[in-house]
Structure 1
């Protein structure tokens, strides 16, 4: 940004203002003097014309132009009068005629002004002369006119003289103002220079102990006092800041020492927490595996119970058949067998063998289904499964458990012959854990209930919608339903790992997602969706 010197600016402003004021004043004065001089000249020429007209009245009335020429001769002593014409009005025709004249020596005569005498009753000023006409009146009648022309050289001379005087006074006044301004500048700039020097020294050396001296000028003295007060406050503030910095430095040193100690303690605590967390992860993995084994053990117990029924019937039928065979063998040895008894024996043998066949076949089917389910539970290899057959095996493994299938039916809805390629083991564990969750929590204290499992293809993903109309989930644990160790059966056999295992299997093993919805007393709904490869889909 361009800066301006106060000293030069002050001189320039004073000189400009003074010059403008003097120029305007002297111009007005010169113009006024010239105007006054012109007015006096007009009065002068009018006076000459009236005098000449009064003197010429008698000569014009008597028509004596010789006498009038002698009267005009003394005008040669006047430097002002150049030409004088006297015109006579003819009494008969009223026309003007030349009567007498005066021409200054050295000047050529001028033409008569017959046509202008009436217009020149008011003086007319030209560049080189001023002219006027005056009527010659006798008994209230105009008997002639006087035309007088005077020189204006005196006006020009007076004007130039006035201008010269004005310029001289102007220059003298301007020089005096300049000298006074220099003196005023020194009086103003001297204390200002001291203030600037002290401010520069403070800015350069940052020495806030300096003070501005007093000045004889009130404004600068007030400025100096204000600056001194500001410097005193700055010095006080710097002292406080330095003291605060020392205290802060000392506090920072103590704080760094405390931080170092706390960091060391925190590092040791973190190591302990990491070790504890690692143990917790190990325990969690062991608990998850325990949950899997518990599920498998529950299934094995169910297998034993379910298989025992057809095998027990087969043993009973075979024992009964063996007893009847022993009786028939005894009668055969004694040759006491009748035709009716042998026919009845054959009928009993057929019935018992049929019972044995049906029950052994049922046991074989159960063993095959349980074997497939057990293989699936322990396998995470992709395999093509037919959904209805897969669900039959899953529900077969669930039937021996604590669910009465007449009071708590499980309804499966899926397209006919829907076959997909996926990991059947994790899918089997997901469905079994959801069903067991409904058994333990959903239908606790209820006499009846329904489970609906719906399978549907959504693009390249299989969507499973699992619903029950059981007790629902309390509001306080809905948001953490998939967290580990969250259960409402704490101390009653619930581990809180079932749905956590389901969530991990869906998201990590199957690469899908699971959503949960529930209202207390209105059941639950799980929506599971994961990518699969469709082998065949047909609808009847």
Structure 2
């Protein structure tokens, strides 16, 4: 398993975080210190220059009033003792109306040119680059509200710049020293924290390689790391116990496998014999099941034969009776004819009775022929697996005709909703058997205790040459426990009462295997049943 790419370590992350905090703190504190010191220096030198300006203004008022320029100039030259003073100009109001102020006296430090103020209308103090310019009013001694003129003093601010530079240099030096000290302390603290973690990581890697779960980690002076080491030791102890239990279990398992090999070989031989016997039994069971299903089909056919035989017996018996009467009447007519006593009235009566008897014989023989033909077609269909073209409505009528002996004993109604022109090509035998089983199931099970039930048989041609048959009744319905396994073999509610439980299983096999279709059931107890059968047909057509 490859180790993931490591981008950061605790050591570097700790160092970066500590140094970032220290650097931000020192930068902010040094900036605030420099700003406050610069403001203090600036305020101090400006106050000093303003004080000099006020002093010069107080001394110059007497000279302006006297108009003594020389004395004023001499007094101003005494400012050479103040090295920061560069220029001092004394202005008074001019007598010329075009000029408001005139230069009364001035002092210029050696090497400095005469400097003039930008304006004299008000008092101000300005710091402009390396210079400090101050303008003050010169007031009279007797009347302080009287303005005699203005004093303009220009001082050097180079000392202020030097102090600012010195302050910045000192603060930067201190900040760098503090950062160096912080870096060294962070390295020391980093080792205190990260070294035990690295030792613990190396210890765990060694344990994972050597699988020596009996080793224990050393404790640390840091409380959190000591808790972590203790937790690792507890985990190793539990892993060691688990490994020991696993080894014991594996040893027992090996011993058990060794003892089970002989038993498995013996059981395998016995299982092969039992399996072979089971296969033979299963084959016999399948044979018996097929035989039982075939017997079920033949039993339904036998019931139909008995019913049809009983049904055919009535019209044939009537035909025999009518023919016997005809023979008797014919013998009487022959005697009278031979004895020459035959009357016209007797002959007329004989002809009328003969016509009536012949009609009786014809109707009953025709009815018997229809029954025999219908039964013959149903019997042929049930015994044949070949496809043929037939009218579906006619097929249903033939089935109902063959079931007439059973149906006339009950009062149930069978409604056929099928297009009389619907002709399909399919296997008629399975369809016969399916409808017969469904009708008999409704009579025997669905309408038990019901005298006037209704059965609906609907058929329609669907897209793709598929025939859909819907069979429904309004009988008792199917209980839920029977409904979910209705198509399984040997499922019946008439166990011990003649029910084999193979009727619906036979229907399911005929639909899915013989007709290659599908069948679905919808039923609620007390609300009848509905079967929907869909299967493909060939050569289907409908008007």
TM-score of the pair, normalised by structure 2: 0.69
Q: What is the correspondence of 1:412-431 to structure 2 with a 5 Å cutoff?
A: 414-416=418-420, 419-431=423-435
Residues 427/250 of structure 1: CA separation in 2 closer, same or farther (3 Å cut): same
| Aligned residue number for residue 339 of structure 1 | 341
Provide the rounded CA distance (Å) in 2 between the counterparts of 1:536 and 1:149: 127
Equivalent pair of 1:426/1:510 in contact (CA under 8 Å): yes
| Aligned residue number for residue 484 of structure 1 | 489
Shift of 1:294: 1.5
Provide the rounded CA distance (Å) in 1 between the counterparts of 2:55 and 2:279: 131
Provide the rounded CA distance (Å) in 1 between the counterparts of 2:421 and 2:282: 47
Provide the rounded CA distance (Å) in 2 between the counterparts of 1:128 and 1:471: 120
Q: What is the correspondence of 1:77-476 to structure 2 with a 5 Å cutoff?
A: 78=81, 135=138, 137=140, 152-153=155-156, 155-156=157-158, 158-163=159-164, 165-166=166-167, 169-170=170-171, 173-174=174-175, 176-178=177-179, 180-206=181-207, 209-214=216-221, 221-243=222-244, 245-246=246-247, 249=250, 276-308=281-313, 337-340=339-342, 347=350, 354=358, 366-386=371-391, 390-391=395-396, 393-399=398-404, 401-404=405-408, 414-416=418-420, 419-441=423-445, 449=452, 454=457, 456-459=459-462, 460=465, 462=467, 476=481
Residues 428/254 of structure 1: CA separation in 2 closer, same or farther (3 Å cut): farther
Shift of 1:287: 0.9
Bigger mean CA deviation after superposition, 142-151 or 419-428: 142-151
Equivalent pair of 2:92/2:150 in contact (CA under 8 Å): no
Equivalent pair of 1:456/1:463 in contact (CA under 8 Å): yes
Residues 491/351 of structure 1: CA separation in 2 closer, same or farther (3 Å cut): farther
Residues 467/104 of structure 1: CA separation in 2 closer, same or farther (3 Å cut): closer
Equivalent pair of 1:455/1:462 in contact (CA under 8 Å): no
Bigger mean CA deviation after superposition, 526-535 or 349-358: 349-358
Residues 537/23 of structure 1: CA separation in 2 closer, same or farther (3 Å cut): closer
Shift of 1:286: 0.8
For the aligned residues, what is the CA RMSD? 5.6
Residues 167/238 of structure 1: CA separation in 2 closer, same or farther (3 Å cut): same
Provide the rounded CA distance (Å) in 1 between the counterparts of 2:287 and 2:476: 33
Equivalent pair of 1:65/1:99 in contact (CA under 8 Å): no
Equivalent pair of 1:72/1:102 in contact (CA under 8 Å): no
Equivalent pair of 1:209/1:235 in contact (CA under 8 Å): yes
Provide the rounded CA distance (Å) in 1 between the counterparts of 2:488 and 2:524: 19
Bigger mean CA deviation after superposition, 471-480 or 260-269: 260-269
1:506 corresponds, among 502, 511, 522, to 511
| Aligned residue number for residue 75 of structure 1 | 78
Give CA-to-partner distance per residue, 1:56-93, whole Å, 9 cap, x none.
59xx65x7878x489749838745577777889999x9
| Aligned residue number for residue 29 of structure 2 | 21
Equivalent pair of 1:516/1:524 in contact (CA under 8 Å): yes
Equivalent pair of 2:86/2:155 in contact (CA under 8 Å): no
Provide the rounded CA distance (Å) in 1 between the counterparts of 2:8 and 2:168: 36
Residues 268/33 of structure 1: CA separation in 2 closer, same or farther (3 Å cut): farther
| Aligned residue number for residue 38 of structure 1 | 46
Provide the rounded CA distance (Å) in 2 between the counterparts of 1:43 and 1:471: 125
Shift of 1:418: 5.2
Shift of 1:181: 2.9
Residues 17/269 of structure 1: CA separation in 2 closer, same or farther (3 Å cut): farther
Give CA-to-partner distance per residue, 1:128-171, whole Å, 9 cap, x none.
67666675856559999687676634x52x33553464356446
In structure 1, the gaps of 5 or more residues are 215-220
| Aligned residue number for residue 217 of structure 1 | none
Equivalent pair of 1:451/1:466 in contact (CA under 8 Å): no
Bigger mean CA deviation after superposition, 158-167 or 349-358: 349-358
Equivalent pair of 1:470/1:522 in contact (CA under 8 Å): yes
Q: How many residues align?
A: 515
